[in-house]
Structure 1
Amino acid sequence: MKAMYYDAFGKTPDIRMLPDPTPSKDGVVIKVEATGLCRSDWHGWMGHDPDISLPHVPGHELAGTVAAKGKGVMRYKVGDRVTVPFVSGCGRCGECHSGNAQVCPNQFQPGFTHWGSFAEYVAIDYADQNLVHLPDSLDYATAASLGCRFATSFRAIVDQGRVRGGEWVAVHGCGGVGLSAIMIASALGANVIGIDISETKLSFARELGAVATIDGSVTGDIAEAVREITKGGAHVSIDALGSPVTCFNSIKNLRRRGRHVQVGLMLGEHAAPQIPMAQVIGHELEIYGSHGMQAWRYEAMMAMLETGKLNPQKLIGRHISLEEAVPALMTMDTAQDLGISVITQF
């Protein structure tokens, strides 16, 4: 198979021919039709993720068709159109039995714990527990864009943040995760504020439903600006970027008893951000993490897609080739692309 491959962190990846994968007893091999390019892939390539062993094939947002399956797979057949959460559970542990595969201690992560989807084929373990059937109406590129950013944002807004209509929601960072969160929170009837340093991204945030935006490049005190707009602070705030500044501001701009959800990864030198703990205690703030979304929760998200309440296809910026993904991956920390780049040419 053709795949993106690297054998050293930070080294320019190669496009090369590698052996086709074979399915495990409880797994499948998926012919990749589309796979999203995500900042998490950049973190992995930089060596920030301890789960990655070299050499490696990255990629974790994917959609395609089942090309082969193991004898133990009962719910899926060759030819099925599928996607998969980037955090997949083993289906056997206590967390999986409680419905929380996204924190399974034995989790399988394509593109991190195992070779990923920047390739023509990818092997996925624990298929019966983790694959998600795709409706015929959903194209592969849109389905791939759901796998990490959109699904993670859905869980962050709906399950972790418990956003309700009429609440104020602040979204720090208007990349793929942030724009997804803005669309989802707006669909639930919340009043959303988008915060970024790019006017282009802020303009797009307004198109997706943000009722107000804040340009962090010209605003000195982000938290105070949010409090002024909301007359007291956000009910829910999302750090969709993952930096010490956005994490701090997201907690700082909450009203009393507000809820902060950390979605952006905090890795490497950013792993221990400053937190306004006196405010957390005195105002009884709630702080949550959000790490992917369980396969069984896709049903609710898919229902909102099929009725037109959510339109994740609007978030797709570029369709690119596997070769074009190499420089795109290497510059993800500085890129100003609008929307999600999806590899659709192998």
Structure 2
Amino acid sequence: MRAIVYEEFSVLPQLRDIEPPSAPSSGVVIDVEATGVCRSDHHAWSGHDSTITLPHVPGHELVGRIASAGPQVTKFHTGQRVTVPFVCGCGRCRWCLSGNAQVCPDQTQPGFTHFGSWADQVVIHNADANLIAVPDDLPASAMVGLGCRFATAFHGLRVRANLHEGETVAVFGCGGVGLSAIMIARAIGARVVAVDVSDAALDRAREHGASHTVNATGQTPDELSAEVIAQFSDQSPDGVAVSVDALGREDTITAAIASLAPLGRHVQIGLLAAPPVVDVGRVIGLELSVLGSHGMAAAEYPEMLDLVVDGKLRPQDLVTNIIGIEDAPAAMEALGSNTGSGMTIIDLNR
């Protein structure tokens, strides 16, 4: 089968023919219909993820159909159209059984712990606990982002931060995951201020639900947080209820936490190459919450999927580029300097 493979970190991946996989006893092989190009793929390719064993096939956001299933799979069948969280639980531990497979200590992750979805086929382990059936009539562009961007943003806002209608949210970074967070916050009924250094990204943020935007170019974290707070001075003069760092930079985290009102909640989604310095004194003094969002368990998908089916969430509107698998190596390299907004997906049938 075709697959994108890299044998060294930060060295351009190559399109190759490799042996197709076999289904594990409790897993499946999926014929990949489409797969996402995510900044997390670039982090792994850059050597920032200790789970990667070389050579490696990236890719963790996908939609496709089950090609074969192991004998222990009972809830899904061959030919069924499915997606999957990028964090797959074991299905047996107390975390999985409580609906929190995203923190399973024995988790697997396509594109990280084993070969991923930048290929004609991908293996998913513990299928009964991790697969999500998706409608046949929705476009692939509406499904791909549910594996990572939309799932991580939804879990962070709805579950971790317990965001409610009428609250205020500041989203720092308007790439794929940032725009996903904006769309989700608006679907919940929150008011959103979007922060980025790109006017084009901020324009897209407005298109997808941000009522206010702030260009962060040249601003210090203190200046930036003050401008963010000023956007909602009529409703929340002390700061926003929830902040989201969707970029993964120490200065944006600093500004995000500084923009929070007392008892505010910060959601950290963006990955960092090194641990940041956080204003712990402010966190303690204002009783702020700093929350991580590491994907979303399959058990939490129904609410988000219902919003997509009903048209209240339209992940397909974030797709700005559809490429063939032969263009994936260049797309990986471009992630290192890409400042644009939106989402690129690989169409395996193209």
1:225 to 224, 227, 238: 227
Partner of 1:45: 45
How many angstroms does 1:218 deviate by?
4.6
How many angstroms does 1:137 deviate by?
2.7
Deviates more, 1:245-254 or 1:44-53: 245-254
Q: Is the 8 A contact 2:10 2:45 kept in 1?
A: yes
Q: Is the 8 A contact 1:35 1:141 kept in 2?
A: no
Q: State the percentage of identical aligned residues.
A: 48
CA distance in 1, matches of 2:61, 2:292: 20
CA distance in 2, matches of 1:3, 1:308: 33
Give the counterpart letter for 1:176 in structure 2. G
Alpha-carbon deviations, 1:308-338, whole Å to 9, x = none?
2111111111110111111111121211333
Unpaired segments of 5 or more residues in structure 1? Answer: none
User: Does residue 238 of the first structure (1) align with residue 241 of the second (2)?
Assistant: no
Q: Is the 8 A contact 1:145 1:316 kept in 2?
A: no
| Superposition TM-score, scaled by structure 2 size | 0.96
4+ long deviations beyond 6 Å: none
CA distance in 2, matches of 1:228, 1:139: 40
Partner of 1:298: 301
Alpha-carbon deviations, 1:18-42, whole Å to 9, x = none?
0000000000000000000000000
SS at match of 2:189: coil
CA distance in 1, matches of 2:141, 2:59: 14
Partner of 1:62: 62
Alpha-carbon deviations, 1:278-313, whole Å to 9, x = none?
111111101110000010111000111111211111
Alpha-carbon deviations, 1:212-249, whole Å to 9, x = none?
00001154411111121222211000001111111111
Partner of 1:254: 260
Number of residue pairs matched by the alignment:
343
CA distance in 2, matches of 1:123, 1:64: 11
Deviates more, 1:224-233 or 1:76-85: 224-233
Q: Is the 8 A contact 2:32 2:348 kept in 1?
A: no
Q: Is the 8 A contact 2:65 2:79 kept in 1?
A: yes
- Which structure 2 residues correspond to residues 262-281 of structure 1 after superposition, within 5 A? 262-266=268-272, 268=273, 271-281=274-284
Unpaired segments of 5 or more residues in structure 2? Answer: none
CA root-mean-square deviation: 1.0
Give the counterpart letter for 2:240 in structure 1. A
- Which structure 2 residues correspond to residues 1-346 of structure 1 after superposition, within 5 A? 1-220=1-220, 221-230=223-232, 231-266=237-272, 268=273, 271-345=274-348
How many angstroms does 1:141 deviate by?
2.6
